[in-house]
């Protein structure tokens, strides 16, 4: 994983004239292509009025989980706690929401804007325990860079 290359490509994407959803989708594609253990990459966006997460742009296998209540599953917990969550083995999580039987691990990073949770980056991996501090640093930096898209 070449972190500097990814940061540069994200910066280029953010300068693009395309719509915000197109930029988010491009960032999903970039992450999936550049990091071999990222099998599903997507965004969940907070709908404050209903206190749920709505599926935004993503790349990977389709998911039935288009709405997730805040507090439910890994994504809902990140929305509630506003902190990154790394799950190296999803079979150890009691209220895990399985998007695919192939998913073995997950990292979810909040996107904060003006100290408010607005969205999150969700990464699923078919590998067992692939996430490191480098993944967390990469995704938290990207979350900070993209906050203005929300």
pLDDT band at 90 (very low <50, low <70, confident <90, very high): confident
Whether the CB-CB separation of 39 and 32 falls below 8 Å is answered with yes
What CATH number is associated with residue 50? 3.30.450.40
CB distance 74 to 80 below 8 Å = no
Half-sphere exposure of 144 (CA within 13 A, CB side): 9
Tell me what pLDDT residue 23 has. 98
- Quote the tokens at residue 68: 């997730």
The per-residue pLDDT for range 7-44, each reduced to its tens digit, is 999 999 999 999 999 999 999 999 999 999 999 999 99
Per-residue pLDDT of 41-89, as tens digits, reads 999 999 999 999 999 999 999 998 999 999 999 999 999 999 999 999 8
In whole angstroms, give the CA distance from residue 90 to residue 13: 32
Q: Which domain holds residue 17?
A: 3-149
Banded pLDDT at 115 (limits 50, 70, 90): very high
Per the structure, the count of domains in the chain is: 1
Our CA dihedral for 69, 71, 72, 74, rounded to 10 degrees, sits at 120
Q: 3-state SS string over 2-64?
A: CHHHHHHHHHHHHHCCCCHHHHHHHHHHHHHHHCCCCCEEEEEEEECCCCEEEEEEEECCCCC
Minimum mean pLDDT range among 41-55, 93-107, 115-129:
93-107
Which pTM value belongs to this model?
Answer: 0.94
pLDDT at residue 46, as a whole number:
98
Whether the CB-CB separation of 114 and 83 falls below 8 Å is answered with no
């Amino acid at each position: 994983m070449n972190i500097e290359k990814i940061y540069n490509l994200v910066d280029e994407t953010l300068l693009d004239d395309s719509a915000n959803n197109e930029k988010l989708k491009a960032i999903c594609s970039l992450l999936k292509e550049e990091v071999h253990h990222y099998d599903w990459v997507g965004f969940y966006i907070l709908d404050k009025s209903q206190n749920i997460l709505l599926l935004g742009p993503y790349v990977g296998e389709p998911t039935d989980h288009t709405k997730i209540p805040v507090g439910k599953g890994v994504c809902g917990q990140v929305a509630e706690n506003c902190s990154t969550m790394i799950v190296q083995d999803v079979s150890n999580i009691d209220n895990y929401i399985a998007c695919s039987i192939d998913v073995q691990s997950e990292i979810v990073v909040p996107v904060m804007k003006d100290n408010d949770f607005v969205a999150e980056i969700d990464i699923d991996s078919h590998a067992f325990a692939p996430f490191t501090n480098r993944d967390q640093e990469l995704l938290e930096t990207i979350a900070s860079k993209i906050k203005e898209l929300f």
